[in-house]
């Protein structure tokens, strides 16, 4: 009887040990059924400060004046970058300051309190005493200073890196806080001496549009980009005597942060 009981216990222990070994072997050889997905790197907030060095031209400019190809300007914007999840896209908005200088060969003049603007050729004014005289002038420009509110959408090929290909397109609304004209050359004024050079600067000219709005783009790599802008608002106020023209801008953009 005792032998039978001992034999039965031994058989149970042997079967139990074999089952345990089999279960352990299966666990070690069973491939995992759930794989953890690797998350995309978190995008960096970047391009917070935009500095643009611009060349300014004018489309549909009045026939009585010519804009110099050396017209130039600068604008600086502080933007808050908002990545859209972990995608390569982001949204940005902020505040900017812009300055434009339009060099030309004619003086802006007014004959009716700002309601009848026209351009007068500088060369004929400084040689009025003798048309064969070849007096020359140094420069004449119209200048603007603006506060702007830019909004833009951005694409970065690798949003978690700064050194990557980038594209941005946006829209900005601006308000001209100051405008002026600057002339350097012979004194053309009625009581002036045409044989002496003067510097004349006048502020708050009539007829220049205060409200500006434009579309723009930026494309480049890392911190360096090419940029372009087209003003949807005319440079001169409609109905003031000058056929309005719009400013088009091309330039170089730098984003230090």
Distance CA 200, CA 221 (A): 43
CA distance 62 to 52: 27
Burial of 253 (0-12, 13-18, 19+ CB in 10 A): buried
Phi, psi of 245 (to 5 degrees): -125, 160
Token pair for residue 113? 């309190």
Tell me, what DSSP letter sits at residue 116? S
Structure tokens at 198: 């003067």
3-state secondary structure 51-80: EEEEEEEEECCCCCCCECCCCEEEEEEEEE
Q: pTM score, two decimals? A: 0.79
pLDDT at 14: 52
- What is the Cα gyration radius of the chain? 36
What pLDDT, on a 0 to 100 scale, did the predictor assign at position 23?
47
Question: Is residue 118 within 8 Å of 106, Cβ to Cβ?
Answer: no
Identify the bridge partners of residue 167 per DSSP, sorted by sequence position: 155, 219
Q: What pLDDT score does 32 carry?
A: 52
DSSP for residue 1: -
Domain ranges of the chain: 43-254
pLDDT in tens, the chain (257 residues): 445 544 554 554 455 555 445 544 444 455 555 555 577 888 989 999 999 999 999 988 877 788 998 999 999 999 999 999 999 999 999 999 999 999 999 999 887 666 788 899 999 899 988 878 889 999 999 999 999 999 999 999 999 999 999 999 999 999 999 999 999 999 999 899 999 999 999 999 988 999 999 999 999 999 999 999 999 999 998 888 887 788 999 999 999 98
**According to the model, what pLDDT value does residue 26 have?**
47
């Amino acid at each position: 009887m005792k032998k039978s009981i001992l034999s039965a216990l031994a058989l149970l222990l042997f079967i139990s040990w074999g089952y345990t070994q089999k279960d352990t072997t299966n666990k070690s050889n069973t491939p995992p059924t759930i794989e953890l997905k690797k998350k995309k790197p978190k995008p960096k907030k970047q391009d917070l400060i935009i500095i643009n060095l611009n060349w300014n031209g004018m489309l549909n400019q009045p026939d009585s004046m010519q804009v110099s190809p050396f017209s130039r300007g600068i604008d600086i914007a502080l933007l808050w970058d908002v990545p859209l999840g972990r995608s390569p896209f982001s949204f940005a908005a902020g505040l900017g300051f812009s300055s434009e200088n339009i060099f030309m060969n004619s003086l802006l003049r007014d004959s009716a309190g700002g309601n009848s603007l026209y351009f007068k050729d500088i060369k004929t004014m400084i040689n009025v005493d003798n048309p064969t005289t070849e007096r020359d002038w140094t420069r004449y420009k119209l200048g603007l200073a603006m506060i702007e509110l830019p909004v833009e959408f951005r694409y970065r090929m690798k949003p978690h890196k700064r050194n990557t290909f980038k594209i941005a397109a946006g829209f900005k609304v601006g308000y001209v806080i100051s405008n002026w004209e600057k002339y350097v050359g012979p004194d053309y004024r009625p009581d002036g001496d045409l044989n002496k050079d003067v510097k004349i600067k006048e502020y708050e000219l009539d007829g220049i549009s205060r409200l500006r709005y434009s579309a723009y783009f930026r494309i480049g790599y890392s911190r360096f980009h090419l940029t372009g802008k087209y003003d949807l608002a005319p440079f001169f106020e409609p109905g003031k005597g000058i056929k309005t023209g719009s400013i088009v801008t091309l330039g170089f953009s730098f984003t230090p942060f």
